[in-house]
Amino acid sequence: MFLQQPEPTSADLQFYLFGTHVRVHPLFWLMSAIFGWDFLSLGFQYLLIWMVCVFVSILLHEFGHVFMGRLLGSEGHIVLHSFGGLAIGSNNFANPWKRIAVSLAGPFAQFGLYGLLLLVPTGSKLQLDYPSMAMWCLREINFFWPLLNLLPVFPLDGGQVVRDFLSVFVPSRAVRASLTISATVAGAIALNSLSAYYKGPHIPWVYTGGLYTAIFFGMMTVANVQALNQDMERQRWVDDHRVYYDDDRGGWR
Protein backbone atom coordinates (compact mmCIF):
# COMPACT_ATOMS: atom_id res chain seq x y z
CA MET A 1 0.00 0.00 0.00
CA PHE A 2 2.94 2.35 0.60
CA LEU A 3 4.00 2.34 -3.06
CA GLN A 4 0.56 3.18 -4.43
CA GLN A 5 0.27 6.51 -6.18
CA PRO A 6 -2.37 8.69 -4.48
CA GLU A 7 -5.27 9.84 -6.62
CA PRO A 8 -4.96 13.40 -7.98
CA THR A 9 -6.91 16.12 -6.16
CA SER A 10 -7.81 19.70 -6.96
CA ALA A 11 -5.52 20.79 -4.10
CA ASP A 12 -2.40 19.19 -5.62
CA LEU A 13 0.60 21.43 -6.29
CA GLN A 14 1.96 20.64 -9.77
CA PHE A 15 4.97 21.99 -11.61
CA TYR A 16 7.86 21.01 -13.88
CA LEU A 17 11.48 21.09 -12.75
CA PHE A 18 14.46 19.92 -14.82
CA GLY A 19 12.02 18.56 -17.38
CA THR A 20 10.30 16.38 -14.76
CA HIS A 21 6.66 16.63 -13.74
CA VAL A 22 6.23 16.98 -9.96
CA ARG A 23 2.92 16.55 -8.13
CA VAL A 24 2.60 17.29 -4.41
CA HIS A 25 -0.41 15.75 -2.68
CA PRO A 26 -1.92 17.88 0.14
CA LEU A 27 -1.31 15.09 2.66
CA PHE A 28 2.41 15.63 2.15
CA TRP A 29 2.14 19.01 3.87
CA LEU A 30 -0.04 17.60 6.64
CA MET A 31 2.40 14.78 7.47
CA SER A 32 5.36 17.18 7.31
CA ALA A 33 3.61 19.40 9.83
CA ILE A 34 2.82 16.45 12.10
CA PHE A 35 6.44 15.25 12.09
CA GLY A 36 7.63 18.76 13.01
CA TRP A 37 4.80 19.68 15.37
CA ASP A 38 7.17 20.32 18.28
CA PHE A 39 8.60 23.31 16.40
CA LEU A 40 5.25 25.06 16.84
CA SER A 41 6.22 25.77 20.45
CA LEU A 42 8.93 28.07 19.09
CA GLY A 43 6.57 29.85 16.73
CA PHE A 44 4.61 29.06 13.57
CA GLN A 45 7.43 30.38 11.39
CA TYR A 46 9.76 27.66 12.70
CA LEU A 47 7.25 24.97 11.76
CA LEU A 48 7.14 26.49 8.27
CA ILE A 49 10.96 26.37 8.09
CA TRP A 50 10.84 22.68 9.00
CA MET A 51 8.20 21.95 6.36
CA VAL A 52 10.16 23.75 3.65
CA CYS A 53 13.29 21.81 4.60
CA VAL A 54 11.36 18.53 4.41
CA PHE A 55 10.00 19.50 0.99
CA VAL A 56 13.44 20.41 -0.38
CA SER A 57 15.05 17.27 1.04
CA ILE A 58 12.43 14.79 -0.17
CA LEU A 59 12.33 16.47 -3.59
CA LEU A 60 16.13 16.14 -3.80
CA HIS A 61 15.84 12.47 -2.85
CA GLU A 62 13.32 11.76 -5.59
CA PHE A 63 15.36 13.68 -8.16
CA GLY A 64 18.27 11.43 -7.26
CA HIS A 65 16.14 8.49 -8.43
CA VAL A 66 14.91 10.36 -11.51
CA PHE A 67 18.36 11.49 -12.67
CA MET A 68 19.86 8.02 -12.22
CA GLY A 69 16.94 6.46 -14.07
CA ARG A 70 17.32 9.00 -16.86
CA LEU A 71 21.05 8.31 -17.06
CA LEU A 72 20.33 4.59 -17.45
CA GLY A 73 17.52 5.09 -19.97
CA SER A 74 14.20 5.40 -18.11
CA GLU A 75 12.19 8.59 -17.62
CA GLY A 76 10.16 9.16 -14.50
CA HIS A 77 7.94 11.65 -12.71
CA ILE A 78 7.66 12.57 -9.05
CA VAL A 79 4.75 12.37 -6.62
CA LEU A 80 5.17 13.59 -3.05
CA HIS A 81 2.57 12.10 -0.74
CA SER A 82 1.83 11.44 2.91
CA PHE A 83 4.67 8.98 3.55
CA GLY A 84 7.38 10.61 1.43
CA GLY A 85 7.69 10.43 -2.32
CA LEU A 86 7.67 8.27 -5.43
CA ALA A 87 9.86 8.51 -8.52
CA ILE A 88 7.44 6.69 -10.77
CA GLY A 89 8.93 5.05 -13.85
CA SER A 90 12.56 5.68 -12.92
CA ASN A 91 13.35 2.04 -12.15
CA ASN A 92 11.51 0.42 -15.05
CA PHE A 93 14.37 -1.93 -15.84
CA ALA A 94 14.59 -5.68 -16.25
CA ASN A 95 18.21 -5.53 -15.07
CA PRO A 96 18.25 -5.72 -11.23
CA TRP A 97 21.61 -3.91 -11.00
CA LYS A 98 20.10 -0.90 -12.75
CA ARG A 99 17.16 -0.95 -10.34
CA ILE A 100 19.60 -1.10 -7.42
CA ALA A 101 21.50 1.90 -8.80
CA VAL A 102 18.27 3.89 -9.06
CA SER A 103 17.22 2.91 -5.52
CA LEU A 104 20.56 3.96 -4.02
CA ALA A 105 20.70 7.26 -5.91
CA GLY A 106 17.98 8.84 -3.75
CA PRO A 107 19.61 8.40 -0.32
CA PHE A 108 23.06 9.25 -1.67
CA ALA A 109 21.76 12.49 -3.18
CA GLN A 110 20.78 13.48 0.36
CA PHE A 111 24.14 12.39 1.75
CA GLY A 112 25.75 14.61 -0.89
CA LEU A 113 23.75 17.62 0.30
CA TYR A 114 24.61 16.80 3.91
CA GLY A 115 28.32 16.77 3.03
CA LEU A 116 28.00 20.20 1.40
CA LEU A 117 26.13 21.57 4.42
CA LEU A 118 28.97 20.50 6.70
CA LEU A 119 31.20 22.97 4.84
CA VAL A 120 28.90 25.87 5.75
CA PRO A 121 29.63 27.43 9.16
CA THR A 122 26.49 27.90 11.19
CA GLY A 123 25.18 28.19 14.71
CA SER A 124 23.04 25.76 16.66
CA LYS A 125 19.32 25.14 16.74
CA LEU A 126 19.19 26.84 20.13
CA GLN A 127 20.11 30.22 18.63
CA LEU A 128 16.63 30.33 17.05
CA ASP A 129 17.62 32.60 14.17
CA TYR A 130 16.08 31.49 10.89
CA PRO A 131 19.26 30.57 8.95
CA SER A 132 20.63 28.47 11.84
CA MET A 133 17.30 26.70 12.27
CA ALA A 134 17.05 25.95 8.55
CA MET A 135 20.61 24.65 8.45
CA TRP A 136 20.00 22.45 11.50
CA CYS A 137 16.82 21.00 9.97
CA LEU A 138 18.49 20.30 6.63
CA ARG A 139 21.43 18.56 8.29
CA GLU A 140 19.17 16.41 10.46
CA ILE A 141 16.85 15.43 7.62
CA ASN A 142 19.58 14.72 5.08
CA PHE A 143 21.67 12.56 7.39
CA PHE A 144 19.26 10.55 9.52
CA TRP A 145 16.42 10.12 7.03
CA PRO A 146 18.53 8.55 4.24
CA LEU A 147 20.14 6.25 6.84
CA LEU A 148 16.65 5.17 7.85
CA ASN A 149 15.70 4.79 4.20
CA LEU A 150 18.54 2.31 3.65
CA LEU A 151 17.17 -0.15 6.23
CA PRO A 152 16.24 -3.49 4.61
CA VAL A 153 12.53 -2.75 4.99
CA PHE A 154 10.20 -2.75 2.00
CA PRO A 155 9.14 -0.38 0.44
CA LEU A 156 12.05 1.75 1.65
CA ASP A 157 14.95 1.95 -0.77
CA GLY A 158 16.99 -0.47 1.33
CA GLY A 159 14.21 -3.06 1.14
CA GLN A 160 14.01 -2.70 -2.63
CA VAL A 161 17.79 -3.08 -2.90
CA VAL A 162 17.67 -6.31 -0.87
CA ARG A 163 14.88 -7.71 -3.04
CA ASP A 164 16.68 -6.88 -6.30
CA PHE A 165 19.99 -8.22 -4.96
CA LEU A 166 18.41 -11.52 -3.94
CA SER A 167 16.69 -11.78 -7.33
CA VAL A 168 20.14 -12.14 -8.92
CA PHE A 169 21.20 -15.13 -6.81
CA VAL A 170 17.95 -16.77 -5.62
CA PRO A 171 15.28 -15.50 -8.02
CA SER A 172 12.62 -17.99 -6.96
CA ARG A 173 12.94 -17.03 -3.27
CA ALA A 174 13.79 -13.35 -3.56
CA VAL A 175 10.33 -11.96 -2.82
CA ARG A 176 9.58 -14.22 0.13
CA ALA A 177 13.06 -13.84 1.65
CA SER A 178 13.06 -10.05 1.29
CA LEU A 179 9.57 -9.76 2.80
CA THR A 180 10.59 -11.97 5.73
CA ILE A 181 13.66 -9.82 6.39
CA SER A 182 11.59 -6.67 5.97
CA ALA A 183 8.81 -7.71 8.36
CA THR A 184 11.33 -8.86 10.98
CA VAL A 185 13.38 -5.65 10.92
CA ALA A 186 10.33 -3.37 10.80
CA GLY A 187 8.67 -5.27 13.65
CA ALA A 188 11.80 -5.10 15.80
CA ILE A 189 12.12 -1.34 15.29
CA ALA A 190 8.40 -0.76 15.98
CA LEU A 191 8.42 -2.76 19.22
CA ASN A 192 11.72 -1.28 20.37
CA SER A 193 10.55 2.28 19.67
CA LEU A 194 7.23 1.71 21.43
CA SER A 195 8.93 0.26 24.50
CA ALA A 196 11.46 3.09 24.61
CA TYR A 197 8.69 5.68 24.27
CA TYR A 198 6.92 4.29 27.34
CA LYS A 199 10.23 4.03 29.27
CA GLY A 200 10.20 0.26 29.10
CA PRO A 201 13.06 -2.16 28.41
CA HIS A 202 14.55 -1.76 24.97
CA ILE A 203 17.69 -2.50 22.99
CA PRO A 204 19.71 0.73 22.95
CA TRP A 205 21.64 -0.04 19.76
CA VAL A 206 18.45 -0.70 17.79
CA TYR A 207 16.94 2.47 16.33
CA THR A 208 14.32 4.19 18.50
CA GLY A 209 12.64 7.30 17.19
CA GLY A 210 9.61 7.86 19.37
CA LEU A 211 5.92 7.15 18.89
CA TYR A 212 5.82 8.25 15.23
CA THR A 213 8.56 5.76 14.42
CA ALA A 214 6.69 2.98 16.23
CA ILE A 215 3.51 3.73 14.26
CA PHE A 216 5.32 4.08 10.93
CA PHE A 217 7.26 0.83 11.21
CA GLY A 218 4.29 -0.92 12.75
CA MET A 219 2.27 -0.11 9.63
CA MET A 220 5.10 -1.39 7.44
CA THR A 221 5.28 -4.58 9.50
CA VAL A 222 1.59 -5.25 8.90
CA ALA A 223 1.91 -4.44 5.18
CA ASN A 224 4.89 -6.77 4.77
CA VAL A 225 3.23 -9.63 6.67
CA GLN A 226 0.15 -9.25 4.46
CA ALA A 227 2.31 -9.26 1.33
CA LEU A 228 4.18 -12.33 2.60
CA ASN A 229 0.91 -14.19 3.21
CA GLN A 230 -0.30 -13.26 -0.28
CA ASP A 231 2.92 -14.55 -1.81
CA MET A 232 2.61 -17.82 0.11
CA GLU A 233 -1.02 -18.20 -1.01
CA ARG A 234 0.01 -17.55 -4.61
CA GLN A 235 2.76 -20.16 -4.39
CA ARG A 236 0.35 -22.72 -2.90
CA TRP A 237 -2.07 -22.11 -5.77
CA VAL A 238 0.75 -22.59 -8.29
CA ASP A 239 1.81 -25.83 -6.60
CA ASP A 240 -1.77 -27.13 -6.53
CA HIS A 241 -2.32 -26.38 -10.22
CA ARG A 242 1.09 -27.35 -11.54
CA VAL A 243 0.88 -29.49 -14.68
CA TYR A 244 3.30 -32.40 -14.94
CA TYR A 245 3.68 -35.62 -16.97
CA ASP A 246 2.81 -38.85 -15.15
CA ASP A 247 4.94 -41.68 -16.58
CA ASP A 248 2.82 -44.38 -14.92
CA ARG A 249 -0.44 -43.12 -16.38
CA GLY A 250 1.08 -41.95 -19.64
CA GLY A 251 -0.45 -38.48 -19.61
CA TRP A 252 -0.35 -34.95 -18.31
CA ARG A 253 -1.74 -34.20 -14.87
Q: What angle do CA 234, 236, 242 make, to 5 degrees?
A: 100
User: In whole angstroms, what is the distance from residue 122 CA to residue 125 CA?
Assistant: 9
pLDDT tens-digit map of 11-36: 999 999 999 999 999 999 999 998 88
- Its pTM stands at 0.86
What interhelical angle do 157-169 and 174-197 show, nearest 10? 150
Kindly indicate the confidence band of residue 170, based on its pLDDT and cuts at 50, 70 and 90: very high
What count of Cα atoms within 13 Å lies in the side-chain half-sphere of residue 196?
19
**1 pLDDT exceeds 50?**
no
**How confident is the model at residue 129, as a pLDDT?**
82
Residue of 95 and 200 predicted with greater confidence: 95
